[in-house]
Amino acid sequence: MNFSYENNEQAKLPLYLQIKRQIQQNLIQAGWQFDTPIPSEHALAAEFNASIGTIRKAVDGLVEEGILVRQQGRGTFIRQPDFTSSMARFFRHRTKAGEQQIPVGVVKSVQEVAGVDEINRLLGEPENAPLVYLERLRLNGEKVILSEKIWLPKSKFAPLLNLPLEGFDNLLYPFYVQQCGQLVVSAKERLTFLADYQDEELTQGEAQAVIKISRLAKGLDGSIIEYRESYGIAQDFYYETIIS
């Protein structure tokens, strides 16, 4: 288990990249307001003493990364991430009527655990830093379609430990923002196949073929803020991708 984002540090960056980075820093410091725009391009041009075109190129970069969205006539905003259905997008699950159904998320347990070498390394945490560990299910009605194990750095997510299970929202990522000020902007996932996975909830104790999804979620400052393992029945597996 050794996948990670690479860090590229440069010496002499073009102005538009410097500005891009600075804007990103400002977003972190200011705290994110999804409903109020960032300063206008004109204002940014004045602030950074650069031309509009250069500002646009900097903002373009953040838009491409999915961190900002432009709205003509209104302004440029921090993107409200929509992971609504993304968590279960690898699987097909439909009602009897044939409609796509959005699974419900239920947290089954929350606890503090000691650091685990392998996971702390993925999270970029010190070797023995404590973690927050969640178990969670995704349900379609009565049916369990996804079983999840989630590890978070306690340094950033300690507030979750003081909440009752009923206090957790259906969607976790907006909840992270609300409770801990942690914004997930992108994620890297690895899919593998397990012939014999066993789990009380998902497979009801019998060994079954599953697809395992390992996810590293990245925060606004570029650090990894969540490691998650999700398991779903292989028979329901369904994924589309575009390559070029």
Residues that bind DNA (CB under 7 A): 14-17, 37-38, 40-43, 49-54, 56-57, 70-76
| Cα gap 101→95, rounded to integer Å | 6
Contact 203, 196 (CB under 8 A): no
Residue whose CB is less far from DNA, 37 or 130:
37
Q: Which of residues 215-234 bind its own copies (CB under 8 A)?
A: 234
Closest separation between CB of residue 20 and DNA, Å? 9
Q: Is 185 in the site for its own copies (CB under 8 A)?
A: yes
CB of 242 to its own copies, least distance (A): 5
CB of 211 to its own copies, least distance (A): 7
Q: Which residue from 234, 221, 243 is spatially nearest to 28, judged by alpha carbons? A: 221
Check binding of 192 to its own copies (CB under 8 A).
yes
Distance in angstroms (rounded) separating the CA atoms of residues 240 and 153:
32
Nearest to 230 by CA among 136, 116, 118, 104: 136
Distance CA 153, CA 119 (A): 10
The residues of the shown chain that bind its own copies, judged by CB under 8 A, are: 3, 53, 65-66, 86, 185-193, 195, 209, 211, 234-235, 237-244
